[in-house]
Each structure stands twice: as structure tokens, then as C-alpha cells.
């Protein structure tokens, strides 16, 4: 394990710390001494039974820590360590066409697809890479391939049903390949009810084999079907099975979380890789906490006088 910086040029800001220290003691000696002898710490300490000097030094130490954590955050402090990650990079393709509004899976198919996709993100090891697209007649990139699970979940949650006609599976595949083209091992997770009426399944299979993309399909819906604004929509498992089996992928049905958990373990091969964990967000939280602590300490000093 070791640490590195994404933007090391910001580390020069640490040279502001000596200036901060000099300014602090200059202020205590010159300004504080002229203001009602505020710096007469010995007299105040005898009357109040407190040590104001040490408290002001504590304020200085908090200032130094605040500047340090802020600079390290701006510099993109990153921890590198060997970790379990998926040997594949994934694009999660979520069908957002009108038929995904059917209620045969409560509350509706699109919600079930989003829940399943989020559960998949939770299942992959930290450091694994994935992207998210939604598709109907057109495909939309919700988030490019990243290892940030928080961003991936947010992108999934933001997907809405579209009123545009058609479900173009080939465009969804093409968009997924565009996101995966620079990745070493490529896999697509297709969540759909299989009601594909635009684009050729055969063409998708042929291109996936040619470009080395594994497609796993997850059927969202029931064979009996569910009501939509345009009538009853039934899941087409045969189309989804054909895509997955032909591209060396796996076919699943989103019936229960326990079943999906086991299914996901089958499609997430694990390997040891050097993973990167960006600590910037954690450092920002620490900086804000230190700032609040400093304000409490200053307030306490004022009350003590």
C-alpha cells in the first residue's frame, strides 16, 4: 500500500503554513497586547483559573490541520493498494421504454430494473469499473465507465421512463461498446422486458462476438404480463436468452434479491489488482469538522474571559 497525488502541484500551498504560524504569533504579540491587555495571560489565568495561551496554540494547531487537509484534498490524495476487483468492466443498460411501466413487478418494471442494477453495483468489489446507459428508441449515456459507486447509484436512480417509441437494442449495444472500447475485458448487463421492436438481435449477437463483449441479460417482467398505457405487455424471455447464450453470457430473471445475489456472484470474476481509493471527499469532511471544532474552541475562549 502506498499514497500518491493526482494534482501534486497543489502541494506548494503547504508553504502557506509557516506564514500562518508567523501571522498567528505576530497577532498575539502586537494586536492582542494593545487590546485591553488581552495577551496578559498570567493575570487572566490567575483570576479565571484557565490557560488562554495553550488554548490559542490549540487554535493555531487546528488552523494548521485545516490548511493541511484542505491542500491534500485539492491535491487528490489517493491510496493505492492491492484489492479484489472484477476482471471485467461493465456497462449496465436499462430499458426505459413505455413497456417498462408495467406493474406485473411492483411497483413497476423500471423500478425493479433500477433496484436490480443498484444491487449489482453493491455486489461488485470496490475498484471495479462500470458505466450506465438507458435506452428506448434512442440510447443515453447516464454515466461513463467509473469506479465510483456513489456516482453510479445516482445515475441509476435518475433514470426515468421515456415516451419515445421503440426499443432499439442495437443502439444500446453500440453505445455500450463505445463506453467499453478502451477497457480490457468487456461485459454488458442488459435489463429489459425483451420487448425489442427496433434493431436486429442477430446483428447485436454478431457484433458482440466480433468485438469480444459478453452480454448478460436480466428479464424484468412476468410471462403473464402487466398492464401499461397501451395494453398488456409480456416479457420476452426467448429474445433475452438468445442474446446472452450466444455471447457467452448468462440469463437471469429478477424474481428475488437472494436469487439475484447468487446470480451476480456467477458473473463477477474476481482478480487481484492495484486499486486506487481517492481520499479527497473524506479529507473535505475532516476539514469541515476541524473548522467547526475551531469555532467551538474560539467561542469557549471568549466565554472564559
Q: Half-sphere exposure of 228 toward its Cβ, with a 13 Å CA cutoff?
A: 22
Q: Which stretch of DSSP H or E encloses residue 135?
A: strand 130-135
Distances (CA, A) of 293 to 57, 68, 112: 14, 16, 44
Residues of the chain where predicted confidence (pLDDT) is lower than 50: 32-39, 41, 44-52
- Three-state SS for 70-110 is HHHHHCCEEEEEEEEEECCEEEEEEECCHHHHCCCCCCCHH
Q: Is 36 left (phi over 0), alpha (psi -120 to 50) or beta?
A: left
Residue intervals of the chain classified under CATH 3.40.50.410 are 84-272
The domain 84-272: what is its CATH number? 3.40.50.410
3-state secondary structure of 249: coil
Which pLDDT does position 35 carry in this prediction?
46
Which pLDDT does position 178 carry in this prediction?
95
Place of cell 435506452: 135
Cell of 270: 474476481
∠270-273-275 over CA atoms, to 5°? 115
Distances (CA, A) of 186 to 52, 131, 150, 177, 271: 62, 11, 21, 8, 15
Amino acid at each position: 500500500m502506498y499514497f500518491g497525488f493526482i494534482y501534486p502541484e497543489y502541494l506548494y500551498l503547504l508553504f502557506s503554513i509557516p506564514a500562518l504560524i508567523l501571522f498567528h504569533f505576530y497577532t498575539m504579540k502586537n494586536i492582542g497586547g494593545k487590546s485591553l491587555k488581552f495577551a496578559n495571560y498570567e493575570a487572566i489565568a490567575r483570576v479565571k483559573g484557565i490557560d488562554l495561551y495553550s488554548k490559542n496554540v490549540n487554535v493555531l494547531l487546528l488552523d494548521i490541520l485545516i490548511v493541511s487537509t484542505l491542500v491534500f484534498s485539492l491535491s487528490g490524495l489517493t491510496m493505492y493498494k492491492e484489492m479484489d476487483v472484477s476482471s471485467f468492466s461493465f456497462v449496465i443498460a436499462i430499458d426505459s421504454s413505455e413497456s417498462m411501466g408495467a406493474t406485473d413487478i411492483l411497483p413497476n418494471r423500471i423500478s425493479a430494473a433500477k433496484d436490480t442494477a443498484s444491487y449489482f453495483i453493491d455486489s461488485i468489489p470496490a475498484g471495479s469499473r462500470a458505466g450506465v446507459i438507458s435506452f428506448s428508441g434512442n440510447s443515453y449515456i447516464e454515466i461513463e465507465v467509473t469506479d465510483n459507486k456513489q456516482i453510479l447509484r445516482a445515475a441509476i436512480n435518475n433514470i426515468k421512463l421515456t415516451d419515445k417509441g421503440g426499443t432499439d437494442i442495437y443502439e444500446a449495444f453500440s453505445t455500450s461498446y463505445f463506453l467499453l472500447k478502451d477497457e480490457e475485458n468487456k461485459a454488458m448487463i442488459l435489463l429489459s422486458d425483451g420487448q425489442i421492436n427496433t434493431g436486429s438481435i442477430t446483428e447485436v449477437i454478431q457484433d458482440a462476438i466480433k468485438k469480444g463483449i459478453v452480454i448478460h441479460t436480466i428479464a424484468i417482467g412476468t410471462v403473464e404480463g402487466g398492464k401499461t398505457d397501451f395494453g398488456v405487455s409480456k416479457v420476452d424471455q426467448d429474445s433475452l436468452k438468445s442474446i446472452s447464450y450466444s455471447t457467452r453470457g448468462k440469463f437471469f430473471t429478477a424474481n428475488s434479491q437472494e436469487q439475484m445475489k447468487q446470480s451476480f456472484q456467477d458473473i463477477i470474476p474476481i482478480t487481484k489488482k492495484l486499486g486506487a481509493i481517492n481520499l479527497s471527499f473524506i479529507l473535505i469532511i475532516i476539514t469541515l469538522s476541524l473548522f467547526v471544532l475551531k469555532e467551538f474552541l474560539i467561542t469557549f475562549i471568549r466565554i472564559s474571559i
